[in-house]
Structure 1
Amino acid sequence: MHDSSRSHDLGELSLDKLVACHECDLLMLKPELAPSERAECPRCGFELFSYQPHMLGRSLALVIAALLLYVPANFLPILQLRLLGQTTEDTVWSAVAALYESDLQGIAVVVFLCSMGIPLLKLLCQLVVLLSIRWDVGRGYGLLLYRIYHHLREWGMLEVYFMGILVSIVKLLSLADLAVGTGLACFICLLLVQVWLEITMSPHQVWEALSRGRAHASH
């Protein structure tokens, strides 16, 4: 852990050598971090940024894994319901379609965007950003997509949808025979991979790499 305590005589320094705390707005010198170290604000203790070793390779592997899990998580059965001799299988996509066919088009669109559309768009933005850094091409577009990704983060609600699935399972257990499908296992794995990706893909390192590449391209 690194304490960024030097916060005086900053007026003549270039912006790339400074960092501001997102919580208390304290402006300070940007510390040099070793792998696995993190910088904290000396005033409020907020984590400014951390240095993730092998961030690019690990993040790419996690994004690709998440994209591979996306299709089975959304289109394979999550639950198998047996009631009165009839068996039905539900997927994330079938739930959206059922809402739409039940004259709840507005809710269907919201559920689709939050559980399928926006999570996929976030993953694609992350993939393109990481590839632009890896191949050192189109970093200006990478900056734009990374800004879009940060605006989308608040709208991807897989964890909320997962809680809804758990509540449904608890309520249906007393009414019918339930069997957990492969889609639910893939959905849980997708959720865990995305959480791991959020931890691994250090925003500070991504912004730094994109800005550095753009600065070199402009010279």
Structure 2
Amino acid sequence: MSDSADPQTMPELPIEALIACHECDLLMRKPDCTEGERVECPRCGYELYTYRHQVVRRSLALVIAALLLYVPANFLPIMRLNLLGQTTEDTLWSGVLGLYDSGMQGVAVVVFLCSMAVPLLKLLCQLAVLLSIRLDFGRGYGLLLYRIYHHLRDWGMLEVYLMGILVAMVKLADLADLSLGLGLLCFIALLLTQVWLEVTMSPHQIWQALSGEDEHARD
């Protein structure tokens, strides 16, 4: 539901009235849409954005839920391993410490950053951005933090770490008595919550709200 802009009238349009496709770079007039409508590029069909209902409230609820899941996901046992009468419990944090103590400090730092530090920083940035919109306070800092968040998105790799955990569990299942811990359930719930948050927190609406163009985003 987008119309490409006429090149002859393009200079007369204000920059706020234009939008560019991220895939094919088509510059077009920004269409007016209501809640639930999706805006697509007329050239390549790429989804530019979807106008979602109560995006700030729903995103805030998901951010808070993710922050509550963060501590048990990282510090509760992921699995219990019973081998020859000896039982060990492994957590994400103990895995980082184990790598560091075994002489692989570089790998330990990378695992810590990608599985613990960056995901937490992303959630804190999202929380600060949403609060700045909700409370209508410090939107300049909100813009800065939202830019930082977008730079951090490629560094949070919880899904890769989850795949590593699952592969390790499959290999250890034949060697020892293996049982799942509550930490694994919290970790999966944290990953799913973050994915849901990425879908709910519409970038187009957040940028508009931070710039003051969409006052309804606070509702």
Partner of 2:175: 175
Partner of 1:7: 5
Please report how far the alpha carbon of residue 161 of structure 1 lies from its aligned counterpart in structure 2 after TM superposition: 0.2
Name structure 2 gaps, 5 residues minimum.
Answer: 214-219
Give the total of aligned pairs: 211
Whether 2:134 is the aligned partner of 1:134: answer: yes
**TM-score, normalised via structure 1 length:** 0.95
Partner of 1:33: 33
> Could you give the per-residue CA deviations for residues 30-66 of structure 1, whole angstroms, max 9, x where no partner exists?
0111111110000011111111101000000000000
Partner of 1:158: 158
Partner of 1:19: 19
Tell me the distance in 1 between the aligned counterparts of 2:196 and 2:208. 21
Tell me which amino acid in the other structure corresponds to 2:76.
L
Tell me the distance in 2 between the aligned counterparts of 1:33 and 1:178. 53
**Counterparts of 1:93-172 in structure 2 under 5 Å?**
93-172=93-172
> Could you give the per-residue CA deviations for residues 42-94 of structure 1, whole angstroms, max 9, x where no partner exists?
00111111111010000000000000000000000000000000000000000
Partner of 1:216: none
Tell me the distance in 2 between the aligned counterparts of 1:24 and 1:6. 12
**TM-score, normalised via structure 2 length:** 0.95
Name structure 1 gaps, 5 residues minimum.
Answer: 214-219
Percent of aligned positions that are identical: 71
Tell me the distance in 2 between the aligned counterparts of 1:30 and 1:38. 12
SS in 1 for 2:43: coil
Tell me which amino acid in the other structure corresponds to 2:86.
Q
Which aligned runs of 4 or more in structure 1 are off by greater than 4 angstroms?
none
Whether 2:199 is the aligned partner of 1:207: answer: no
Please report how far the alpha carbon of residue 212 of structure 1 lies from its aligned counterpart in structure 2 after TM superposition: 1.5
Tell me the distance in 1 between the aligned counterparts of 2:143 and 2:14. 20
Partner of 1:62: 62
Tell me which amino acid in the other structure corresponds to 1:81.
L
Tell me the distance in 2 between the aligned counterparts of 1:136 and 1:7. 33
Tell me the distance in 2 between the aligned counterparts of 1:86 and 1:140. 55
Partner of 1:217: none
Tell me the distance in 2 between the aligned counterparts of 1:47 and 1:82. 50
Please report how far the alpha carbon of residue 7 of structure 1 lies from its aligned counterpart in structure 2 after TM superposition: 1.9
Whether 2:158 is the aligned partner of 1:195: answer: no
SS in 2 for 1:74: helix
